[in-house]
Amino acid sequence: MKLIVAIVRPEQLSDVLEALFHAEVRGLTISRVQGHGGEMEQVENYRGTTVKMALAEKVRLEIGVSNHFVQPTVDAILGAARTGEVGDGKIMVLPIERIYRIRTGEQDQDAVTPVPMHPDS
Amino acid sequence: MNTSDIAWMLISTALVLLMTPALALFYGGMVRSKNALNTMMMSFVALGPVAVAWALAGYSLAFGGGGRFAGALQYVGLRGVGLEAHGTIPHLLFMAYQGTFAVITAALISGAVVERLRFGSYLTFIVLWTLGVYAPVAHWVWGGGFLAGDGALDFAGGAVVHVNAAAAALVAALVVGPRRDYGRHAMLPHSVPLTLLGTGLLWFGWFGFNAGSALGANPTAALAFVNTFLAPAATLATWTLLDLTRGGRVTAIGAATAIVVGLVVITPAAGYVGPGAALAMGALGAIPSYLALILRARTRLDDSLDVVAAHGTGGAAGALLTGVFADPAWSGGPSGMIAGHGAQLGIQAYSVLIVLAYSGVATFVILKAIAAVMPLRIGSRVEGVGMDVTEHGEEAYTTGDGAILVTPAEAAPGRRSSPVVASSGGAL
C-alpha cells in the first residue's frame, strides 16, 4: 500500500482526474494549495503597487492505493499533468503503515479495494 | 424645451450608463474565476474608447442627417452639437443618451468571445465596430435612414441593439473559435450571485433604455416603462414553468436569463404596444430563446454566454411580435397585424434580416482585418492559466499570500513588455 501525493497545476486538474478515472482509480482527495516550485513568478499591479507572486496556486491530490495500482496511478498523473514547463509539480509515493476504511472497519488491502458499485446506482 | 423632459432624459442617460457595469456583473459571474476580471473589463472598458469614438465620430455617422445609409459628417468632433433644442431636450443630452446605447451594444458582443479573445484585439474591434456597424445601423432606423423610411418599428433597439450585437457575436464566436476546454471539460459559472445582481441592475437600467426612448416625460414613456416591468415578468413566469416541466427545478441562472430575454423582447415594442400585449410578448418570447439555449449547448458553437440565444433570438422575436401587437389605441402611432396592418410583420422581418446580414458580414471583415495585424486569440497555455493574470496582471480573488513587494527601482525596466518575469532565484 502506498500513499501517492501529487502536486499539479490547477488548470491540469480536469485532465488529471479524467486520466485517473480512466485508470480506474476511484478514491482520492484533493485540496487547493499554494506553493513554489522554481517556476516563473507572476508580476501583478494594484494601483501603484507592483508585486511578485512568489506562491502559485496548485492542487494537491492524495490517493491511497494498493501496490499494483501504484504504477498506473503515477503514469496517469504524469501523462495528464505535464505541460513541459517549470511548475508542473511533483508526484511523491509514500509508504503507509496502516489504512482503515471508516465505514466497515476494514484494514489495509481491503480498505483500499474499491467495493463494487451498488447495483441500483 | 421642456424641463420635465430634460429631467427625465438626464436620469435615463444615467440609467442606461449603469447597464454596462451591470452587464459586467451579469457576464462576470458566468465565467470561471480565473477570467472574472477580464470578462468584466470587456464590458467596463467599452465605457472608455466606445464613448469617445461615439462623441468624436459615431454620433455624426448615426444622427448627422445625411442619406439613406449613414449620417453626414457635420457633427464630427461634436461640432454644432450644443444646448439648442433637439425635440424638447438639449441636443447635447440627446447625443449622450444615444452614446450610452452605443457603449452597451458593443459590450454585449463580448459575451460570445470571453475567456480567449486578446484584450488588445477586443479593444480595436469594439471601436471599429461602433463606427462601422453600430452607427450606420442606428442611422438606418433612428437617424432617418432607409429602414425608418420603409416603416420598420424599433422603439428602443430590438434590431439596432440586440439583433445587431447578436449577429456580431455569432460571427465573432465563429471567427475566434471555441475555447480550448469547450466540449471537453465542464466550465461552470464561478459566481451565480454576481450574475443575479447584474440582472437586477440591468432591469433597473432598462427603464431608462425603454422609457427613455420616448425622449421625454410623457405618456408614451409611462407606457414603455410599464411594459418594461410586465414583459420580463411574463418571461420569468413562463421560463419558470418551462424549467419545472423540463427538469423539475427552477434555476437561478435560468431566472437571470429569462429576465434579460424578456427585456430584449419588449425593447422594440415598448412604446408601441399595450400592457396586455407586453405580457403576451414576454410569455411568447421566452420559448424561442429557451429552445435556442438548449440547442446551442449541443453544437460546436462556443457562444460562451449565449448572446445569440438571449439577444439574437429574443431580439428577432421581439421585432416580429412588434409587427403583430403594435396598437395605435395605446400608442396613437403605428398599427401591427392585430390592428389590421398585416404588412408590418413583413417589414419587421425584413429589417431584422437586413441588420443581421450587414452586421454579420461587417463583423467578419473587421475581425479578419484585425487578425491580419495582430493575433485574435491568447495562447493555449495562457487559456489554462486564465486571462486575469496574463492580460491584466491582477487577480479577482487573491489572499495576497506570497506576494512580494517589488520596489519601483526593481520593477522599472521592461515590466510592461513582459507580464511574467523569471524568478530571481531567491530561496523560499
Domain extent for A78: 2-111
- By Cβ distance, the residue of A40, A46, A83 closest to B420 is A40
Q: What is the pLDDT of chain B when averaged over all its residues?
A: 93
Which one of A12, A57, A58 would you mutate to disrupt binding with B, by most B Cβ within 10 Å of its Cβ?
A: A57
Asked if residue A22 belongs to a domain, the reply is yes
Structural domains in chain B? 3-380 (1.10.3430.10)
Asked if residue A117 belongs to a domain, the reply is no
Q: What is the pLDDT of chain A when averaged over all its residues?
A: 89
Give dist(CA B21, CA A59) in Å, integer. 33
- Output the pLDDT for position B376: 96
Contact B401 A55 (CB under 8 A): yes
Mean pLDDT of A10-24: 92
- Residue B330 vs residues B146, B223, B277, B333: alpha-carbon distances, Å: 26, 8, 10, 8
Of the pLDDT bands very low, low, confident and very high (cuts 50, 70, 90), residue A70 is: very high
Q: Which residues contact B424 (CB under 8 A, 6 or more apart)?
A: none
Asked if residue A119 belongs to a domain, the reply is no
Q: Are B203 and B261 in contact (CB under 8 A)?
A: no
Asked if residue A116 belongs to a domain, the reply is no
Name the residue of chain A whose CA is nearest to B405's CA: A51
Q: Are B388 and B36 in contact (CB under 8 A)?
A: yes
pTM summary value: 0.91
Residue B385 grid coordinates? 492559466
- A39 contact residues in B (CB cutoff 8 A): 423
Q: What DSSP designation does B421 have?
A: E
Report whether pLDDT(B408) > 90.
no
Q: Are B209 and B157 in contact (CB under 8 A)?
A: yes
- By Cβ distance, the residue of A38, A54, A83 closest to B402 is A54
- Output the pLDDT for position B100: 98
A·B CB contacts under 8 A: 69
- In b/e form, how buried is each residue of B79-96, taking b as 16+ CB within 10 angstroms? eebeeeebebbbbebbbb
State pLDDT tens for residues B382-399: 898 899 999 999 999 988
- Output the pLDDT for position B65: 86
Angle, helices B219-247 vs B192-211, to 10°: value is 150
Q: In 10 A of CB B118, how many CB atoms?
A: 22
Asked if residue A8 belongs to a domain, the reply is yes
Q: Which residues contact A71 (CB under 8 A, 6 or more apart)?
A: none
Comparing A106-110, B245-249, B408-412, the range with the smallest average pLDDT is B408-412
Asked if residue A72 belongs to a domain, the reply is yes
Asked if residue A102 belongs to a domain, the reply is yes
Name the residue of chain A whose CA is nearest to B386's CA: A11
- B181 contact residues in A (CB cutoff 8 A): 14
Give dist(CA B397, CA B386) in Å, integer. 13
- By Cβ distance, the residue of A38, A42, A83 closest to B389 is A42
Of the pLDDT bands very low, low, confident and very high (cuts 50, 70, 90), residue B401 is: confident
Q: Are A59 and A11 in contact (CB under 8 A)?
A: no
CATH code, domain with A72: 3.30.70.120
CA distance, residue A35 to nearest chain B CA (Å):
9
Number of independent structural domains in chain A: 1
Report whether pLDDT(B187) > 50.
yes
Asked if residue A121 belongs to a domain, the reply is no
Q: Are B219 and B211 in contact (CB under 8 A)?
A: no
Answer with the residue of higher pLDDT: B124 or A120. Answer: B124
- Output the pLDDT for position B114: 97
Contact B406 A42 (CB under 8 A): no
Mean pLDDT of A96-112: 89
State pLDDT tens for residues B244-255: 999 899 999 999
- Residue B70 vs residues A21, B55, B100: alpha-carbon distances, Å: 59, 16, 19
Q: Are B209 and B267 in contact (CB under 8 A)?
A: yes
Q: Are B258 and B232 in contact (CB under 8 A)?
A: yes
Q: Are B27 and B43 in contact (CB under 8 A)?
A: yes
The contact set of A with B (CB < 8 A) is: 9, 11-12, 14, 34, 36, 38-46, 49-55, 83, 85
Name the residue of chain A whose CA is nearest to B420's CA: A42
- By Cβ distance, the residue of B411, B419, B428 closest to A36 is B428
Give dist(CA B55, CA B34) in Å, integer. 34
State pLDDT tens for residues B88-106: 999 999 999 999 999 999 9
